Amino acid sequence: MPLDHPTAAHRSRPPHHDPSSGKTNSAQKDPRSALRFWSTGYVLLILLTGTNLPTPLYRGYAARFGFSPLVVTLIFAAYVAVLIPSLLLAGPLADALGHRAVLLPAVAVAALGSLGFALATSTAWLFAARILQGLAVGAASGPLTAALTELEPAGDRRKAALVSTATSVAGLGLGPVLAGLLAQYAPEPQVLPFALEIALLVPAAVAIATLPAPDARTRWRPRRPEIPAAMRTLFASSGTTGFLAFAVVGLFLTMIPTYVATLSGSRNLLLGGAAVALLLACSAITQLLCYGRPVRTLELIGLPLLASGLLLLALAGGLSSLPLLLTATVVAGVGQGLAFLGGLTAVNQAAPAERRADVLSSFYVILYLGVGLPVVGVGFLAAFTGLLAAVQYFACTAAVLCLVLLLTLARARTRTAGRARN
Protein backbone atom coordinates (compact mmCIF):
# COMPACT_ATOMS: atom_id res chain seq x y z
CA MET A 1 0.00 0.00 0.00
CA PRO A 2 2.33 2.68 -1.09
CA LEU A 3 1.80 6.36 -0.61
CA ASP A 4 2.25 9.08 -3.20
CA HIS A 5 4.38 11.93 -1.91
CA PRO A 6 5.22 15.16 -3.75
CA THR A 7 8.88 15.29 -4.62
CA ALA A 8 11.61 17.86 -4.95
CA ALA A 9 11.83 17.19 -8.67
CA HIS A 10 8.20 18.15 -9.09
CA ARG A 11 8.65 21.34 -7.14
CA SER A 12 11.75 22.49 -9.02
CA ARG A 13 10.45 21.73 -12.54
CA PRO A 14 6.65 22.11 -12.67
CA PRO A 15 5.45 20.05 -15.64
CA HIS A 16 2.57 20.91 -17.91
CA HIS A 17 -0.52 18.96 -16.89
CA ASP A 18 -3.37 18.00 -19.20
CA PRO A 19 -6.42 17.44 -16.95
CA SER A 20 -8.40 15.68 -19.66
CA SER A 21 -5.85 12.95 -20.14
CA GLY A 22 -4.34 12.71 -16.72
CA LYS A 23 -0.92 12.97 -18.39
CA THR A 24 1.98 15.32 -17.95
CA ASN A 25 3.84 16.46 -21.07
CA SER A 26 7.54 17.18 -20.77
CA ALA A 27 9.68 18.85 -23.40
CA GLN A 28 12.49 16.48 -22.69
CA LYS A 29 11.99 12.75 -22.31
CA ASP A 30 14.71 10.49 -21.04
CA PRO A 31 14.87 7.43 -23.37
CA ARG A 32 15.84 5.34 -20.35
CA SER A 33 12.75 6.36 -18.37
CA ALA A 34 10.73 3.28 -19.41
CA LEU A 35 13.42 0.97 -18.07
CA ARG A 36 13.68 3.02 -14.89
CA PHE A 37 9.90 3.00 -14.51
CA TRP A 38 9.54 -0.78 -14.68
CA SER A 39 12.71 -1.31 -12.63
CA THR A 40 11.18 0.83 -9.89
CA GLY A 41 8.05 -1.31 -10.05
CA TYR A 42 10.27 -4.37 -9.64
CA VAL A 43 11.80 -2.89 -6.48
CA LEU A 44 8.35 -2.35 -4.97
CA LEU A 45 7.28 -5.89 -5.93
CA ILE A 46 10.34 -7.54 -4.37
CA LEU A 47 10.20 -5.52 -1.16
CA LEU A 48 6.54 -6.40 -0.53
CA THR A 49 7.08 -10.02 -1.54
CA GLY A 50 9.83 -10.30 1.05
CA THR A 51 7.76 -8.86 3.87
CA ASN A 52 5.10 -11.54 3.34
CA LEU A 53 7.37 -14.55 3.01
CA PRO A 54 6.96 -15.45 6.72
CA THR A 55 3.16 -15.80 6.44
CA PRO A 56 2.93 -19.58 5.76
CA LEU A 57 6.01 -20.29 7.91
CA TYR A 58 4.72 -19.04 11.25
CA ARG A 59 3.19 -22.42 12.10
CA GLY A 60 6.61 -24.03 11.65
CA TYR A 61 8.28 -21.34 13.74
CA ALA A 62 5.68 -21.85 16.46
CA ALA A 63 6.40 -25.57 16.59
CA ARG A 64 10.17 -24.98 16.52
CA PHE A 65 10.33 -22.25 19.16
CA GLY A 66 7.24 -23.20 21.16
CA PHE A 67 5.09 -20.08 21.03
CA SER A 68 1.33 -19.50 20.79
CA PRO A 69 -0.83 -17.74 18.15
CA LEU A 70 -0.66 -14.65 20.36
CA VAL A 71 3.07 -14.38 19.70
CA VAL A 72 2.44 -14.61 15.95
CA THR A 73 0.13 -11.60 16.14
CA LEU A 74 2.61 -9.68 18.31
CA ILE A 75 5.37 -10.32 15.76
CA PHE A 76 3.08 -8.95 13.09
CA ALA A 77 2.10 -5.97 15.25
CA ALA A 78 5.78 -5.12 15.80
CA TYR A 79 6.12 -4.80 12.02
CA VAL A 80 3.22 -2.33 11.85
CA ALA A 81 4.40 -0.40 14.92
CA VAL A 82 7.67 0.59 13.25
CA LEU A 83 6.25 0.85 9.73
CA ILE A 84 3.93 3.76 10.55
CA PRO A 85 6.53 6.22 11.90
CA SER A 86 8.93 5.13 9.16
CA LEU A 87 6.24 5.92 6.58
CA LEU A 88 5.64 9.40 8.00
CA LEU A 89 9.32 10.30 8.37
CA ALA A 90 10.83 8.87 5.19
CA GLY A 91 8.54 10.61 2.67
CA PRO A 92 9.63 14.14 3.59
CA LEU A 93 13.23 12.92 3.87
CA ALA A 94 13.09 11.62 0.29
CA ASP A 95 11.62 14.95 -0.82
CA ALA A 96 14.60 16.70 0.75
CA LEU A 97 17.47 14.38 -0.20
CA GLY A 98 16.18 12.49 -3.23
CA HIS A 99 14.83 8.95 -3.63
CA ARG A 100 18.17 7.17 -3.77
CA ALA A 101 19.25 8.52 -0.39
CA VAL A 102 16.27 6.80 1.26
CA LEU A 103 15.72 3.75 -0.95
CA LEU A 104 19.23 2.31 -0.93
CA PRO A 105 19.32 2.10 2.90
CA ALA A 106 15.75 0.71 2.84
CA VAL A 107 16.80 -2.14 0.54
CA ALA A 108 19.81 -2.85 2.76
CA VAL A 109 17.56 -2.97 5.85
CA ALA A 110 15.13 -5.29 4.01
CA ALA A 111 18.02 -7.64 3.22
CA LEU A 112 19.01 -7.63 6.90
CA GLY A 113 15.43 -8.50 7.82
CA SER A 114 15.44 -11.48 5.46
CA LEU A 115 18.83 -12.52 6.82
CA GLY A 116 17.40 -12.38 10.34
CA PHE A 117 14.63 -14.81 9.40
CA ALA A 118 17.08 -17.13 7.64
CA LEU A 119 19.37 -17.25 10.70
CA ALA A 120 16.62 -17.28 13.34
CA THR A 121 17.42 -19.42 16.36
CA SER A 122 14.77 -18.04 18.74
CA THR A 123 11.58 -15.98 18.86
CA ALA A 124 13.61 -12.81 19.51
CA TRP A 125 15.19 -13.20 16.07
CA LEU A 126 11.72 -13.19 14.49
CA PHE A 127 10.77 -9.96 16.26
CA ALA A 128 14.04 -8.30 15.22
CA ALA A 129 13.71 -9.44 11.61
CA ARG A 130 10.09 -8.28 11.40
CA ILE A 131 10.99 -4.86 12.81
CA LEU A 132 13.68 -4.46 10.16
CA GLN A 133 11.17 -5.37 7.46
CA GLY A 134 8.70 -2.79 8.80
CA LEU A 135 11.34 -0.07 8.76
CA ALA A 136 12.28 -0.94 5.17
CA VAL A 137 8.75 -1.02 3.76
CA GLY A 138 7.74 2.14 5.62
CA ALA A 139 10.78 4.00 4.31
CA ALA A 140 10.42 2.77 0.73
CA SER A 141 6.66 2.92 0.07
CA GLY A 142 6.28 6.67 -0.45
CA PRO A 143 9.50 7.30 -2.42
CA LEU A 144 8.86 4.31 -4.71
CA THR A 145 5.32 5.48 -5.49
CA ALA A 146 6.55 9.02 -6.14
CA ALA A 147 9.33 7.67 -8.37
CA LEU A 148 6.81 5.65 -10.41
CA THR A 149 4.77 8.82 -10.92
CA GLU A 150 7.83 10.78 -12.07
CA LEU A 151 9.28 8.08 -14.32
CA GLU A 152 6.15 6.98 -16.21
CA PRO A 153 7.37 7.60 -19.79
CA ALA A 154 4.22 9.38 -21.02
CA GLY A 155 3.63 11.23 -17.76
CA ASP A 156 0.40 9.27 -17.21
CA ARG A 157 -0.24 9.44 -13.47
CA ARG A 158 -3.23 7.14 -13.64
CA LYS A 159 -1.10 4.44 -15.21
CA ALA A 160 1.58 5.00 -12.58
CA ALA A 161 -1.00 4.68 -9.81
CA LEU A 162 -2.43 1.52 -11.37
CA VAL A 163 1.05 -0.05 -11.66
CA SER A 164 1.77 0.90 -8.05
CA THR A 165 -1.46 -0.64 -6.75
CA ALA A 166 -1.22 -3.79 -8.87
CA THR A 167 2.44 -4.29 -7.97
CA SER A 168 1.73 -3.83 -4.27
CA VAL A 169 -1.08 -6.37 -4.21
CA ALA A 170 0.97 -8.76 -6.36
CA GLY A 171 3.80 -8.59 -3.83
CA LEU A 172 1.43 -9.16 -0.92
CA GLY A 173 0.05 -12.27 -2.62
CA LEU A 174 3.28 -13.59 -4.15
CA GLY A 175 5.15 -13.71 -0.83
CA PRO A 176 2.95 -16.35 0.87
CA VAL A 177 2.72 -18.48 -2.30
CA LEU A 178 6.46 -18.38 -3.00
CA ALA A 179 7.39 -19.18 0.61
CA GLY A 180 4.79 -21.94 0.84
CA LEU A 181 5.99 -23.50 -2.42
CA LEU A 182 9.67 -23.45 -1.46
CA ALA A 183 9.05 -24.51 2.13
CA GLN A 184 6.91 -27.45 1.04
CA TYR A 185 8.89 -28.78 -1.89
CA ALA A 186 12.47 -27.48 -1.53
CA PRO A 187 15.19 -28.07 1.08
CA GLU A 188 15.83 -25.72 4.03
CA PRO A 189 12.21 -24.45 4.24
CA GLN A 190 13.00 -21.65 6.72
CA VAL A 191 16.15 -20.49 4.93
CA LEU A 192 15.73 -20.81 1.15
CA PRO A 193 12.80 -18.34 0.74
CA PHE A 194 14.79 -15.59 2.47
CA ALA A 195 18.01 -16.42 0.64
CA LEU A 196 16.11 -16.01 -2.63
CA GLU A 197 14.70 -12.68 -1.41
CA ILE A 198 18.19 -11.38 -0.63
CA ALA A 199 19.36 -12.42 -4.10
CA LEU A 200 16.40 -10.62 -5.71
CA LEU A 201 17.20 -7.46 -3.74
CA VAL A 202 20.59 -7.17 -5.47
CA PRO A 203 19.14 -6.08 -8.85
CA ALA A 204 16.69 -3.92 -6.90
CA ALA A 205 19.63 -2.02 -5.41
CA VAL A 206 21.14 -1.65 -8.88
CA ALA A 207 17.85 -0.24 -10.18
CA ILE A 208 17.71 2.30 -7.38
CA ALA A 209 21.28 3.38 -8.07
CA THR A 210 20.24 4.39 -11.60
CA LEU A 211 17.46 6.73 -10.42
CA PRO A 212 18.10 10.38 -11.33
CA ALA A 213 19.44 12.72 -8.66
CA PRO A 214 17.11 15.51 -7.45
CA ASP A 215 17.42 18.89 -9.18
CA ALA A 216 17.01 20.73 -5.91
CA ARG A 217 17.11 19.93 -2.22
CA THR A 218 14.77 21.22 0.42
CA ARG A 219 14.76 21.25 4.16
CA TRP A 220 13.59 18.01 5.78
CA ARG A 221 10.40 18.51 7.77
CA PRO A 222 8.66 15.47 9.31
CA ARG A 223 5.02 15.44 8.31
CA ARG A 224 2.37 15.35 11.02
CA PRO A 225 -0.92 13.88 9.73
CA GLU A 226 -3.74 16.41 9.59
CA ILE A 227 -7.29 16.31 8.23
CA PRO A 228 -8.95 19.48 6.84
CA ALA A 229 -12.10 20.32 8.79
CA ALA A 230 -14.29 20.28 5.67
CA MET A 231 -13.65 16.58 4.98
CA ARG A 232 -13.44 15.12 8.48
CA THR A 233 -16.84 13.43 8.33
CA LEU A 234 -16.04 11.81 4.99
CA PHE A 235 -12.59 10.85 6.23
CA ALA A 236 -14.08 9.23 9.34
CA SER A 237 -16.45 7.03 7.32
CA SER A 238 -13.89 6.15 4.63
CA GLY A 239 -11.20 5.59 7.24
CA THR A 240 -13.48 3.21 9.14
CA THR A 241 -14.22 1.36 5.91
CA GLY A 242 -10.49 1.04 5.18
CA PHE A 243 -9.75 -0.07 8.74
CA LEU A 244 -12.27 -2.92 8.52
CA ALA A 245 -11.12 -3.91 5.02
CA PHE A 246 -7.51 -4.22 6.11
CA ALA A 247 -8.34 -5.88 9.42
CA VAL A 248 -9.42 -8.78 7.22
CA VAL A 249 -6.09 -8.65 5.36
CA GLY A 250 -4.24 -8.70 8.68
CA LEU A 251 -6.24 -11.73 9.81
CA PHE A 252 -5.41 -13.63 6.62
CA LEU A 253 -1.72 -12.75 6.76
CA THR A 254 -1.33 -14.03 10.32
CA MET A 255 -3.98 -16.59 11.24
CA ILE A 256 -5.54 -18.06 8.12
CA PRO A 257 -2.65 -20.38 7.08
CA THR A 258 -2.95 -22.15 10.43
CA TYR A 259 -6.76 -21.97 10.21
CA VAL A 260 -6.61 -23.66 6.78
CA ALA A 261 -4.29 -26.35 8.10
CA THR A 262 -6.64 -27.02 11.02
CA LEU A 263 -9.73 -27.33 8.81
CA SER A 264 -8.06 -29.38 6.08
CA GLY A 265 -5.92 -31.58 8.32
CA SER A 266 -3.13 -31.01 5.82
CA ARG A 267 0.40 -29.91 6.65
CA ASN A 268 0.98 -28.61 3.11
CA LEU A 269 2.43 -25.11 3.53
CA LEU A 270 1.51 -24.07 0.00
CA LEU A 271 -2.19 -24.49 0.80
CA GLY A 272 -2.16 -21.85 3.54
CA GLY A 273 -0.15 -19.42 1.44
CA ALA A 274 -2.47 -19.93 -1.51
CA ALA A 275 -5.51 -19.00 0.61
CA VAL A 276 -3.89 -15.65 1.46
CA ALA A 277 -2.97 -15.08 -2.19
CA LEU A 278 -6.54 -15.90 -3.26
CA LEU A 279 -7.95 -13.14 -1.04
CA LEU A 280 -5.49 -10.59 -2.40
CA ALA A 281 -5.92 -11.71 -6.01
CA CYS A 282 -9.70 -11.31 -5.77
CA SER A 283 -9.21 -7.86 -4.23
CA ALA A 284 -6.78 -6.76 -6.96
CA ILE A 285 -8.90 -8.04 -9.86
CA THR A 286 -11.99 -6.38 -8.40
CA GLN A 287 -10.19 -3.05 -8.09
CA LEU A 288 -8.97 -3.24 -11.70
CA LEU A 289 -12.45 -4.06 -13.00
CA CYS A 290 -14.29 -1.46 -10.90
CA TYR A 291 -11.84 1.45 -11.13
CA GLY A 292 -13.74 4.66 -11.97
CA ARG A 293 -17.11 3.56 -10.56
CA PRO A 294 -19.01 5.90 -8.16
CA VAL A 295 -17.31 6.02 -4.78
CA ARG A 296 -20.24 5.42 -2.47
CA THR A 297 -21.56 2.66 -4.73
CA LEU A 298 -18.27 0.82 -4.27
CA GLU A 299 -18.53 1.06 -0.48
CA LEU A 300 -22.24 0.20 -0.37
CA ILE A 301 -21.61 -2.97 -2.38
CA GLY A 302 -18.25 -3.83 -0.84
CA LEU A 303 -19.27 -3.69 2.81
CA PRO A 304 -22.09 -6.29 2.63
CA LEU A 305 -19.87 -8.57 0.54
CA LEU A 306 -17.09 -8.21 3.10
CA ALA A 307 -19.56 -9.01 5.89
CA SER A 308 -20.85 -12.02 3.97
CA GLY A 309 -17.34 -13.34 3.44
CA LEU A 310 -16.57 -12.98 7.14
CA LEU A 311 -19.74 -14.80 8.15
CA LEU A 312 -18.93 -17.60 5.71
CA LEU A 313 -15.44 -17.76 7.21
CA ALA A 314 -16.94 -18.27 10.67
CA LEU A 315 -19.37 -20.86 9.32
CA ALA A 316 -16.53 -22.72 7.62
CA GLY A 317 -14.87 -23.15 11.00
CA GLY A 318 -18.07 -24.47 12.56
CA LEU A 319 -18.61 -26.96 9.74
CA SER A 320 -14.90 -27.78 9.27
CA SER A 321 -15.39 -27.15 5.56
CA LEU A 322 -12.38 -26.19 3.47
CA PRO A 323 -14.47 -25.53 0.30
CA LEU A 324 -16.67 -23.14 2.27
CA LEU A 325 -13.55 -21.41 3.58
CA LEU A 326 -12.27 -20.89 0.03
CA THR A 327 -15.68 -19.51 -0.97
CA ALA A 328 -15.52 -17.15 1.99
CA THR A 329 -12.05 -16.05 0.86
CA VAL A 330 -13.29 -15.16 -2.63
CA VAL A 331 -16.32 -13.24 -1.33
CA ALA A 332 -14.29 -11.41 1.31
CA GLY A 333 -11.60 -10.58 -1.25
CA VAL A 334 -14.11 -9.01 -3.64
CA GLY A 335 -15.71 -7.08 -0.78
CA GLN A 336 -12.33 -5.96 0.52
CA GLY A 337 -11.30 -4.68 -2.90
CA LEU A 338 -14.52 -2.70 -3.39
CA ALA A 339 -14.50 -1.24 0.12
CA PHE A 340 -10.85 -0.23 -0.05
CA LEU A 341 -11.13 1.28 -3.52
CA GLY A 342 -14.23 3.25 -2.53
CA GLY A 343 -12.70 4.60 0.67
CA LEU A 344 -9.38 5.54 -0.90
CA THR A 345 -11.01 7.19 -3.92
CA ALA A 346 -13.34 9.22 -1.70
CA VAL A 347 -10.47 10.52 0.40
CA ASN A 348 -8.27 11.22 -2.62
CA GLN A 349 -11.04 13.18 -4.37
CA ALA A 350 -11.96 15.24 -1.31
CA ALA A 351 -8.43 16.10 -0.21
CA PRO A 352 -7.22 19.59 -1.22
CA ALA A 353 -4.36 19.41 -3.73
CA GLU A 354 -1.97 21.22 -1.40
CA ARG A 355 -2.80 18.84 1.49
CA ARG A 356 -3.20 15.55 -0.40
CA ALA A 357 0.02 13.94 0.86
CA ASP A 358 -0.83 14.78 4.47
CA VAL A 359 -4.38 13.44 4.16
CA LEU A 360 -3.29 10.24 2.41
CA SER A 361 -0.58 9.74 5.02
CA SER A 362 -3.28 9.77 7.68
CA PHE A 363 -5.45 7.40 5.66
CA TYR A 364 -2.65 4.88 5.23
CA VAL A 365 -1.84 5.08 8.93
CA ILE A 366 -5.42 3.96 9.61
CA LEU A 367 -5.06 1.12 7.10
CA TYR A 368 -1.88 -0.16 8.73
CA LEU A 369 -3.49 0.11 12.16
CA GLY A 370 -6.31 -2.02 10.76
CA VAL A 371 -3.77 -4.58 9.60
CA GLY A 372 -1.94 -4.71 12.95
CA LEU A 373 -4.23 -4.00 15.89
CA PRO A 374 -7.25 -6.33 15.53
CA VAL A 375 -5.13 -9.43 15.00
CA VAL A 376 -3.46 -8.84 18.36
CA GLY A 377 -6.92 -9.13 19.93
CA VAL A 378 -7.48 -12.36 17.99
CA GLY A 379 -4.17 -13.67 19.33
CA PHE A 380 -5.14 -12.88 22.92
CA LEU A 381 -8.54 -14.50 22.43
CA ALA A 382 -6.99 -17.59 20.86
CA ALA A 383 -4.95 -18.13 24.02
CA PHE A 384 -8.23 -18.74 25.90
CA THR A 385 -10.64 -20.11 23.31
CA GLY A 386 -8.43 -21.76 20.71
CA LEU A 387 -7.68 -20.54 17.20
CA LEU A 388 -10.87 -21.67 15.47
CA ALA A 389 -13.16 -19.99 18.00
CA ALA A 390 -11.05 -16.80 18.07
CA VAL A 391 -11.23 -16.44 14.27
CA GLN A 392 -14.98 -17.08 14.39
CA TYR A 393 -15.53 -14.41 17.06
CA PHE A 394 -13.43 -11.92 15.12
CA ALA A 395 -15.20 -12.67 11.84
CA CYS A 396 -18.67 -12.24 13.36
CA THR A 397 -17.73 -9.03 15.17
CA ALA A 398 -16.14 -7.51 12.07
CA ALA A 399 -19.18 -8.54 9.97
CA VAL A 400 -21.53 -6.75 12.37
CA LEU A 401 -19.36 -3.62 12.25
CA CYS A 402 -19.43 -3.73 8.45
CA LEU A 403 -23.23 -3.85 8.48
CA VAL A 404 -23.47 -1.01 11.01
CA LEU A 405 -21.20 1.13 8.85
CA LEU A 406 -23.25 0.16 5.78
CA LEU A 407 -26.45 1.43 7.44
CA THR A 408 -24.69 4.66 8.45
CA LEU A 409 -23.48 5.30 4.90
CA ALA A 410 -26.87 4.44 3.40
CA ARG A 411 -28.64 6.90 5.72
CA ALA A 412 -26.11 9.61 4.95
CA ARG A 413 -26.60 9.03 1.23
CA THR A 414 -30.39 9.24 1.65
CA ARG A 415 -30.10 12.51 3.59
CA THR A 416 -27.78 13.96 0.94
CA ALA A 417 -30.18 12.96 -1.85
CA GLY A 418 -33.09 14.53 0.06
CA ARG A 419 -31.26 17.84 0.49
CA ALA A 420 -30.35 17.82 -3.22
CA ARG A 421 -34.01 17.43 -4.20
CA ASN A 422 -35.01 20.30 -1.92
Whether residue 221 lies inside any domain: the answer is no
> Whole domain around residue 178: which residue ranges?
33-213
Tens-digit pLDDT string for the chain (422 aa): 444 444 333 433 334 444 334 444 443 455 677 788 888 889 989 998 998 899 888 888 988 999 887 888 888 888 888 988 887 787 677 767 777 888 899 999 999 999 999 999 999 999 999 999 999 998 888 788 777 777 777 776 667 666 776 787 788 888 888 888 898 888 888 899 999 999 999 999 998 888 877 655 556 666 566 677 888 888 888 889 989 998 988 888 777 887 787 777 777 778 878 888 889 889 888 888 887 788 778 888 999 999 999 999 999 888 888 889 899 999 999 999 888 888 877 877 777 766 665 676 677 788 888 888 888 888 888 888 888 888 889 999 999 999 999 998 888 777 665 565 65
204 and 181, same domain (yes or no): yes
pTM of the model: 0.74
* Residue from 380, 381, 406 nearest 393 by CA: 381
Same domain, 160 and 278: no
Q: Is residue 129 part of a domain?
A: yes
> Per the domain annotation, does 11 fall within a domain?
no
Question: Both 233 and 380 in a single domain?
Answer: yes
Do 203 and 259 reside in the same domain of the chain? no
Residue 339 in any domain: the answer is yes
Do 193 and 333 fall into the same domain? no
Q: In the listed set 173, 190, 213, which residue is the last one of a domain according to the structure?
A: 213
When divided into structural domains, the chain yields a total of 2
In a domain, 397, yes or no: yes
CATH of the domain at 267: 1.20.1250.20
Q: Does residue 254 lie within any of the structural domains?
A: yes
Domain C-terminal end among 183, 213, 243: 213
* Residue 231 sits in the same domain as residue 206: no
